Amino acid sequence: MNIVMLGHSQAGKTTYMALMYGTLNSGSYGFEVLCQDRAQHKHLLRAAQAVLRGDYPPPTDHRQVYDLKLRHGLSDLVDFRWRDHRGGALTERSTSQQSADLRRDLLAADALVVFVDAYELIATPRGARKVRTLMAPITAALADRTTFVPLVISLTKCDLLGEDHDTGRLNSAFDPLINAVRQSPYVYGTIVELACGPRPRNIVGPVLFCLYWAIAKRAEELDNEIESAMQQAAMYQAQNHLMGRWLAAWRGEPHPGHSAAEMLGRAQAQYAQLEPLIEPGQKLEELLDELPVF
Ligand SMILES: Nc1nc2c(ncn2[C@@H]2O[C@H](COP(=O)(O)OP(=O)(O)OP(=O)(O)O)[C@@H](O)[C@H]2O)c(=O)[nH]1
Ligand SMILES: [Mg+2]
């Protein structure tokens, strides 16, 4: 699963990535995120510890790709690739290679996490303008999607806003995108207020929202396959009488009893894949209960 992280330079993408890894790698919440690459693992943990001390990472100067895995107990749930675009990729001219790469990523991504500096958005007219320019290509690319994709709007630096900040005003900057998502049968969206620093807030929301939908989608596919295998098993079983067996032999088809057993075996194998997804899926639903879905 490809998760693409987007946002202007300085929006807080790399900071989030590190703190998300640090938080979930420790196994808190019953879920564990693991990075196969030992050097990246160490780098991310060090960066997460620094962020908790209020020490932020340097700007990203090239695209970073992390191969990660979500685990619950002893079950591996999802392998996912997390991409950190260099900031500014979105604002460059549409002829540039980066813009083309971005559109390709937007259409191919299995999940999208868009980062917006909430403090800049609220405090400066420039911040609101930047959000409009950022949202336009995303809204356009999502309208062209014909496959399922979760989308998270991550509002960063919410620790810099007052306790009683105007959430409605913050959210209204995304109305066109949110409306486009509501119209689309393929996109499942949410919006999360984040704080990355010594007093972190909502860190697991964006990543677990994306992974939850991937797991839910897989569970739905398996459920459909099990139902179809069970129906076929019942159909073969109904033909498993003297005349049915004779007809199958006459047509050169397999024994209906064997076909029914094969279909039951298939359903059982699919259930063995579905079963480990049920409990973590329910736990994720509880963890994400507070997030709006549009
Ligand atoms: N107060 C506060 N500052 C943050 C937070 N997240 C990021 N910052 C600040 O924002 C700066 C930029 O964060 P980065 O994570 O490097 O931003 P980026 O989106 O990766 O930027 P590029 O790599 O240039 O694309 C950091 O150096 C911090 O100063 C946050 O949650 N709270
Ligand atoms: Mg960065």
> What is the full per-residue pLDDT of the chain (294 aa) written as tens digits?
999 888 888 999 999 999 999 999 998 888 999 999 999 999 999 999 999 999 999 887 777 899 999 999 888 999 999 987 666 655 555 556 766 777 787 888 999 999 999 999 999 999 989 998 888 888 888 888 899 999 999 999 999 998 888 888 888 999 999 999 999 999 999 999 999 999 999 999 999 999 999 999 999 999 999 999 999 999 999 999 999 999 999 999 999 999 999 999 999 999 999 999 999 999 999 999 999 999
Report which protein residue has its CA nearest ligand 1's atom 3: 157
- Is the CB of 64 within 6 Å of ligand 1? no
Ligand 2 centroid distance, CA of 66 (Å): 13
Length of the chain: 294
Give the angle 154-158-163 at the CA atoms, nearest 5°.
Answer: 135
- Is the CB of 52 within 6 Å of ligand 1? no
Report which protein residue has its CA nearest ligand 1's atom 32: 157
- Is the CB of 195 within 6 Å of ligand 1? yes
- Is the CB of 59 within 6 Å of ligand 1? yes
Kindly state the helix (H) or strand (E) to which residue 70 belongs, with its residue range: strand 64-72
- Is the CB of 57 within 6 Å of ligand 1? yes
Query: Who's near 67: CB < 8 A, 6+ residues apart?
Result: 35, 36, 37, 79, 80, 81
Report which protein residue has its CA nearest ligand 1's atom 13: 12
- Backbone dihedral angles phi then psi of residue 290, each to the nearest 5 degrees: -75, -20
C-alpha 218: how far from its chain's center? 13
Q: What confidence score (pLDDT) does residue 106 get?
A: 82
Report which protein residue has its CA nearest ligand 1's atom 30: 157
- Backbone dihedral angles phi then psi of residue 42, each to the nearest 5 degrees: -65, -40
State which CATH number among 3.40.50.2000, 3.40.50.300, 3.20.20.120, 1.10.510.10 fits the domain covering 2-216: 3.40.50.300
- Backbone dihedral angles phi then psi of residue 115, each to the nearest 5 degrees: -100, 130
Please give the single-letter amino acid code of residue 152: V
- Is the CB of 160 within 6 Å of ligand 1? yes
- Is the CB of 158 within 6 Å of ligand 1? no
Atom of ligand 1 nearest to the CA of 16: 15
Q: What confidence score (pLDDT) does residue 95 get?
A: 55
Atom of ligand 1 nearest to the CA of 156: 31
